[in-house]
Amino acid sequence: MELPLPHPAPDILAPTATPHFDRSDALRERFHAVIPGGAHTYAKGDDQFPEHMAPYIVRGEGCRVWDVDGNKFVEFGAGLRAVTLGHAYAPVVAAAARQLSLGCNFGRPAVLELEMAEEFLDFTQAGDMVKFAKNGSDATSAAVKLARAYTGRHLVAICLDHPFFSVDDWFIGTTAVGAGIPAAVSELTMGFHYNDLASLENLFAQHPGQVACVLMEVEKEVAPSPGFLAGVQALCRREGAVLIFDEIITGFRWHNQGAQGFHGIRPDLSTFGKALGNGFSVAALAGRRELMERGGLQHPHERVFLLSTTYGAETHALAAARAVLQVYRQEPVVQHLHHVGGLLAAGLRQSAQEHGLSQQVQALGQPCCLVYTTRDAQGQHSAALRTLFLQETMRRGLLMPSLIVNYSHTEATIARVVEQLHEVLGMYRRALNEGVEKYLHGRPVKSVYRRYN
């Protein structure tokens, strides 16, 4: 069945008809028949959206997307935080298209690989050397391998308060979805808590001389306490462990140089992705020459098979990333993300207060990368209330699994969204008073990390 392309929608501030999902519902069985889970990313699965309200997308432009039913949504969280400039952002698309006309993959490195590597290192100040890959999981797993080879140690310390680092065994084996992963692998990864330096000190004390690296995001929904990041760095130096910052999400959102630039703490290794290509598949591992060169040809040590992928340096993706950097150099992208995200958070906070929901619905994190809470009357997380929130926002033309903004969200768009959120929170209030089951249609959403379906 050929999927229809919807006609361009009217202006973003125009009223949106109540969406229907007949075509999406009709496609669902076909998706699940040929794709395990019905999606190639679990966070995009049907179980993450209200029942019979899981749209299949056909195109996007700026901060808007259209589905197979012709529904138009203002989208928040585009590509799981990957699209920071906006969908089909013209300079990025044009750069990729120009490069595609010249070929995208050769039997020897393209000059563009050198140029992009030099520009990336100059722009981010994230180290002396960089290697590109296609996804963040490969980059973080390569960082762990490099740290193990460099230190001669096996144990990995990860921040337990940060939800995702890699699809590979060393991490997924520590989650509830650990089927198929040997316990011997999972047991090599241990955890500490964010803003709890003592928990990391205890981990080093319990395993002296065995921890190869400490891997963490620089910041998530909770800001680092004064001295925490510097304390982690000092501990790693004292204990001889490699400090790795996962900047897959924070890179190009917090600051042009990532959250490490925002907070002024430089790790030994960093991983970048998502926003780097504005949706194109490109990631990076960068760091100090002393470590990175272990994956090269100019050292006397045992060789590390670091990152060696057929598509790791596809030139159209590197051209897209180069165009992204150019936009960031010329325009106030990060400042805009913080500004419009701040407007959205303030509007949500005011509406929550007016509806008596200040403890239930909150915007958490930096304005450039916000998530929201959906708690019940007792202050506990509620999957049913999250589903209701998604249901009511989608009915109003908002695709809002998070509050993630991009450069294409305008002040006018945010103002209209805040008005719609005020209506949604009115429904939320009624659900708290009268019971969520009265207003929720279908089953609640589920956690990605669960042992059984």
pTM of the model: 0.94
Record the tokens describing residue 65, joined without a space.
Answer: 């997307």
- Percent of the chain whose pLDDT exceeds 70: 96
* Dihedral Cα 263, 264, 267, 268, nearest 10 deg: 160
Residue 285 pLDDT greater than 90, yes or no: yes
CATH number for the region 90-330 comes to 3.40.640.10
In sequence order, which ranges of 207-361 are alpha helices (DSSP H)?
A: 228-239, 258-263, 289-292, 315-330, 333-354
Residue 5 pLDDT greater than 70, yes or no: no
Residue 17 has a pLDDT of 66
Residue 13 pLDDT greater than 80, yes or no: no
Q: What integer is the mean pLDDT of 190-197?
A: 98
Radius of gyration from C-alpha coordinates of the chain: 22
Task: Please report which confidence band the pLDDT of residue 249 belongs to, taking 50, 70 and 90 as the band edges.
Answer: very high
Residue 2 has a pLDDT of 38
Span 153-168, pLDDT tens digits:
999 999 999 999 999 9
Q: In which element (H, E) is residue 393 found?
A: helix 383-395
Mean pLDDT of the chain: 94
According to DSSP, the residues that pair with 214 across neighbouring strands are 157, 243
Q: What is the DSSP string of 239-269?
A: HTPEEEEEETTTBTTTBTTHHHHHHT---SE
Fold of 22-75+332-438: Aspartate Aminotransferase, domain 1 (3.90.1150)
Residue entry with tokens 């719609």: 420
Span 388-405, pLDDT tens digits:
999 999 999 999 999 999
User: Between 383-395 and 411-434, two packed helices, what is the crossing angle to 10 degrees?
Assistant: 130
Least Cα distance to 67 among 29, 25, 12 occurs for: 25
Span 358-376, pLDDT tens digits:
999 999 999 999 999 999 9
Residue 417 has a pLDDT of 98
What type of residue is 2? Answer: E
Q: Give the side-chain half-sphere CA count within 13 A for 243.
A: 21
Q: With contact defined as beta carbons under 8 Å apart, do 83 and 69 qualify?
A: no
Q: With contact defined as beta carbons under 8 Å apart, do 270 and 287 qualify?
A: yes
C-alpha span between 228 and 155 (Å, rounded)? 22
Least Cα distance to 215 among 173, 170, 185, 255 occurs for: 170
C-alpha span between 57 and 381 (Å, rounded)? 29
- Report angle CA 225, 231, 237 to the nearest 5 degrees: 155
Q: What is the DSSP string of 113-135?
A: HHHHHHHHHHHH---SEEEEESS
Residue 432 has a pLDDT of 97
Task: Please report which confidence band the pLDDT of residue 10 belongs to, taking 50, 70 and 90 as the band edges.
Answer: very low
Span 194-212, pLDDT tens digits:
999 999 999 999 999 999 9
Residue 354 pLDDT greater than 70, yes or no: yes
Phi, psi (deg, nearest 5) at residue 79: 60, 35
Positions of CATH 3.40.640.10 in the chain: 90-330
Record the tokens describing residue 305, joined without a space.
Answer: 């098979």
Positions of CATH 3.90.1150.10 in the chain: 22-75+332-438
